[in-house]
Amino acid sequence: MTPIGIVGTGSYVPENVVSNEEVAARAGVTAAWIEERTGIGRRHRAADHEATSDLAAEAARRALQQAGVSADRLGFVLVATSTPDHPQPATASIVQDLIGARRAAAFDVNAVCSGFVYGLAVGTHMLRGATDPAAPYGLVVGADVYSRILDPADRRTAVLFGDGAGAVVLGPVPAGLGMVETALLGRGDQHRLIGVAAGGSRRPASARTVAEGGHWFRMDGRAVRGFVHEALPGAVAALLDRAGVPAKEVRHFVPHQANGVMLNQVWPELGLPEAAMHLTVDRHANTGAASVAITLDTVHRRGGLERGDLVLLAGFGGGMNIGAALVRWALDQPVGRYGEPVFGAEDEAADRPASRGLLSGAALR
């Protein structure tokens, strides 16, 4: 089979930057409290006119531009999100229309914060079995607008999330490069740890569900932390074992940007002695299904990935789900940036290299 890999990356975060001070005031905590417990210094929030599909489409355009692939050569558009524009149609259908991918199938994946990695696994298998030579590429987008489902008074969730989108174009790559292995794990017995209780078929939207706060996102943070510490190291080890790759050969680890403090605590348990862990949580917070893709694009566009490097991606979140993917990087370092700043002028001026096991910059000082 033709090797399939990542041939382009892109990301987009809204212009509106929300400080810890602003979030803290409504959640009944201090800015220092947020930074100390999460490593988050700021986050981006969608404008009133922006929905998940708008963020996703912009990230998709940037990934296609980098790949040098036109939208009409896409065989599918897959959007991983747990904050769709509306229950139906799929947000991917709207993105397909916005970017002009007339040939593409379009569908959503909801594995909450692990959705992007789940999408990579699905998309890779689809392309390996593709038969249309005119559409040899696929688009996988992770996008979420969590600001629309957060209770601003709930300090367990309101301080953690930002809005954003990240995308990759999948396609044929030279032999020896591309997707090495993927692993998906579900623990449905723990599905109550994270969720939005109302708005579906079990508790349809009503005046009562709104009054009860049933449409807010809720999370048992302590239990989620325990799940990650328990399940993530084993999932990483199992993936590497299946791939037949020694842990010391992994050069980069790009995790879901759930909580910077938690990631630094679990990092030593993963046993990746030669890898750099890349974090953007200090500037973008937890962007749900977008976080792995945004971080991957950030590292790539800063020239942090060399062709042939082994990159380990890991997502974890509601369901409970874990997704991991091992990729042998197929792209050369980018020659330039977008015509406009990737994340806005303030972020460009503050560019810092990601550090192994530490948040970039001063987020934990």
pLDDT digits (tens, 9 = 90+) for 59-76: 999 999 999 999 999 999
pLDDT of residue 264: 96
Task: Quote the percentage of the chain above a pLDDT of 90.
Answer: 88
Instruction: Among 116, 151, 177, identify where a domain stops.
Output: 177
Sequence-distant contacts of 104-107: CB under 8 A, at least 24 apart = 104/71, 104/74, 104/75, 104/76, 104/77, 104/135, 104/139, 105/75, 105/76, 105/77, 106/76, 106/77, 106/78, 106/79, 107/76, 107/77, 107/78, 107/79
Domain check: are 159 and 90 in the same one? yes
pLDDT in tens, 123-148: 999 999 887 888 899 999 999 999 99
pLDDT of residue 268: 96
- Mean pLDDT, residues 116-122 taken together: 98
Active site residue 49: no
pLDDT in tens, 314-347: 999 999 999 999 999 999 988 644 433 333 333 4
Bond prior to 126 in cis (omega within 30° of 0): no
Domain check: are 183 and 314 in the same one? yes
pLDDT of residue 129: 84
Domain check: are 140 and 188 in the same one? no
- What DSSP character marks residue 320? T
- Which residue in the list 20, 113, 252, 259 is annotated as catalytic? 113
Domain check: are 158 and 208 in the same one? no
- Which residue in the list 44, 252, 259, 286 is annotated as catalytic? 286
- Mean pLDDT, residues 213-218 taken together: 96
Per-residue CA distances from 301 to 178, 268, 289, 351 (Å): 18, 27, 20, 11
- Mean pLDDT, residues 1-29 taken together: 96
- Mean pLDDT, residues 117-122 taken together: 98
Question: CA nearest 74: which of 1, 167, 142?
Answer: 167
Domain check: are 168 and 196 in the same one? no
**DSSP states along 173-199:** --TT-EEEEEEEEE-GGGGGGEEE-SS
Domain check: are 12 and 66 in the same one? yes
Domain check: are 210 and 130 in the same one? no
- Which residue in the list 252, 256, 278, 284 is annotated as catalytic? 256
Domain check: are 196 and 287 in the same one? yes
- Mean pLDDT, residues 212-224 taken together: 95
pLDDT of residue 335: 62
Domain check: are 140 and 206 in the same one? no
Residue 349 has pLDDT above 70, yes or no: no
Residue 301 has pLDDT above 60, yes or no: yes
Task: State the Cα–Cα distance between residues 94 and 343, nearest whole angstrom.
Answer: 24
Residue 361 has pLDDT above 70, yes or no: no
Q: What is the mean pLDDT of the chain?
A: 91
Residue 344 covered by a domain: no
The CATH number linked to 277 is 3.40.47.10
Q: Tell me which residue range forms the domain holding 321.
A: 179-334
Residues sharing a CB contact under 8 Å with residue 174, sequence separation 6 or more, in sequence order: 3, 330
Residue 115 covered by a domain: yes
Question: Rounded to the nearest 10 degrees, what angle do helices 115-128 and 291-301 cross at?
Answer: 70
Question: CA nearest 171: which of 118, 128, 141, 132?
Answer: 128
Task: State the Cα–Cα distance between residues 58 and 287, nearest whole angstrom.
Answer: 15
Active site residue 113: yes
Q: What domain count does the chain have?
A: 2
Backbone angles phi and psi of 312, in degrees to 5 = -105, 120
pLDDT of residue 35: 96
Residue 351 has pLDDT above 60, yes or no: no
Instruction: Among 119, 147, 177, identify where a domain stops.
Output: 177
Active site residue 256: yes
Residue 354 covered by a domain: no
Question: CA nearest 321: which of 118, 185, 182?
Answer: 185
Q: What are the start-end ranges of the E strands in 70-136?
A: 74-80, 105-109
pLDDT in tens, 221-234: 999 999 999 999 99
